Amino acid sequence: MILSELKVGQTASIININSIEPVMRKKLLNLGFLPKAKIQLLRVAPLGDPIAIRCANSAIALRKSIAKQIIVER
């Protein structure tokens, strides 16, 4: 499943972020978006974009287009 399919409050583990462009992938890796890292969907903006994610005790806002490229498993 992809990250953007999670519902608010659900948690998952990151499986793959390789389809993201290299510059953004490096930023996400530095923020703790590592394989097998636990993430939780905190909030979705009223119009659906961006979404707030908790990863490694940090809250991060992501565009939905980026969240669609992050593969997770529940």
How confident is the model over 6-60, as pLDDT tens digits? Answer: 899 999 999 988 888 899 889 888 888 888 889 999 999 998 889 999 988 888 9
Q: Could you tell me the pTM of the whole model?
A: 0.80
Residue type, 11: T
Q: Where are the domains of the chain?
A: 3-73
Which helix (H) or strand (E) segment is 66 a member of? helix 64-67
What CATH topology corresponds to 3-73? Answer: SH3 type barrels. (2.30.30)
Structure confidence at residue 74 (pLDDT): 86
Within a 10 A sphere around the Cβ of 68, how many other Cβ atoms?
A: 15
Contact indicator for 72, 15 with CB cutoff of 8 Å: yes
Token look-up 């593969």 returns: 71
Residues 6+ apart with CB under 8 A from 35: 14, 15, 16
